[in-house]
Amino acid sequence: MSKLEIYQIAVLNDNYVYLAHDAETGATAVVDPAVGGPVLDALAAKSWKLTHILNTHHHADHTGANLDLKQQTDCIIVGPKADAERIPGIDVEVSDGDTYAVGNATAQVFDVPGHTRGHNAYWFADSDALFSGDTLFSMGCGRLFEGTAAQMVNSLAKFTALPDKTQVFCAHEYTQSNGRFALSVEPKNKALVDRMAEVDQLRKVGKPTVPSTIAIEKATNPFLRPSSAELQKMVGLVGADLVDVFAETRKLKDNF
């Protein structure tokens, strides 16, 4: 199996687009291309040829460049079967349990609804890389636009089962604002306090806080920590069902 070279491109206000390149075959995927220009510029600078688009979900800031890039490169567009009709130019529909190869690098596909009704994530085990779209952020998770709290809890559980060293390549630079909320519901969490100090320093000098890791997220992300006694106390649901704790935490974040 092949290990991908991953290149991060910052676009729009706070989006991250990723190039994932397999040096053995020359195959290159772009994950969630919001806009085309920066992607084409990065490909040219790297002398890489685009062969695939991997979409996590249908929102325009993840699929906006699909058709333009396909027209210019003849790449294959891969996206969630559960939401195929909303993925521009989709060629290959994938769902939970499927695998998909970019060159010699193979991704395991997860269905992770909650943010939208059809949302995929792609885990390249040999590259220790998870492309989580808008399901899991650093110290946060996506808003529940089309799904339920129970769906999102189930989706996030698929990620916490992955190896701790897995890098989380999420689609937005939301870490600092997510962390401020996280501290409001777990102020005594030392791992969280330390992580926020690191994040504040990175942002102060304009550096990205992404990728994170599954280990960091399990220690600091309130949406992965509904069993935390401190969090349960802060949201007023001590001993409650964990889905209810998650739902209340998400509600508080929406209004933070």
Domain ranges of the chain: 5-254
pLDDT given at position 126: 96
Separation of alpha carbons 89 and 231, rounded Å:
43
Residue keyed to tokens 């209004």: 255
| Residue positions annotated with a catalytic role | 57, 59, 61-62, 115, 134, 172
On whether the CB atoms of residues 90 and 75 are closer than 8 A, the answer is no
Residue type, 56: T
Instruction: Tell me the angle at which helices 149-160 and 242-254 cross, rounded to the nearest 10 degrees.
Output: 100
pLDDT given at position 188: 97
pLDDT given at position 203: 96
Instruction: Tell me the angle at which helices 242-254 and 175-185 cross, rounded to the nearest 10 degrees.
Output: 120
Separation of alpha carbons 27 and 100, rounded Å:
13
Provide the pairing of β-strand 212-213 with 99-102.
unpaired
pLDDT given at position 2: 81
Per DSSP, helices labelled H in the chain are: 37-46, 60-63, 66-73, 149-160, 175-185, 190-204, 214-220, 229-234, 242-254
The model's pLDDT over 183-219, given as tens digits with 9 standing for 90+, comes to 999 999 999 999 999 999 999 999 999 999 999 999 9
Residue 153, Cβ density class (10 Å: 0-12 exposed, 13-18 middle, ≥19 buried) = buried
Q: In b/e form, how buried is each residue of 24-48, taking b as 16+ CB within 10 angstroms?
A: eeebbbbbbbbbbebbbebbeeeeb
pLDDT given at position 235: 96
pLDDT lower than 70: segments of the chain: none
pLDDT given at position 239: 96
- The three-state secondary structure class of 83 is helix
**In terms of CATH, what superfamily is 5-254?**
Ribonuclease Z/Hydroxyacylglutathione hydrolase-like (3.60.15.10)
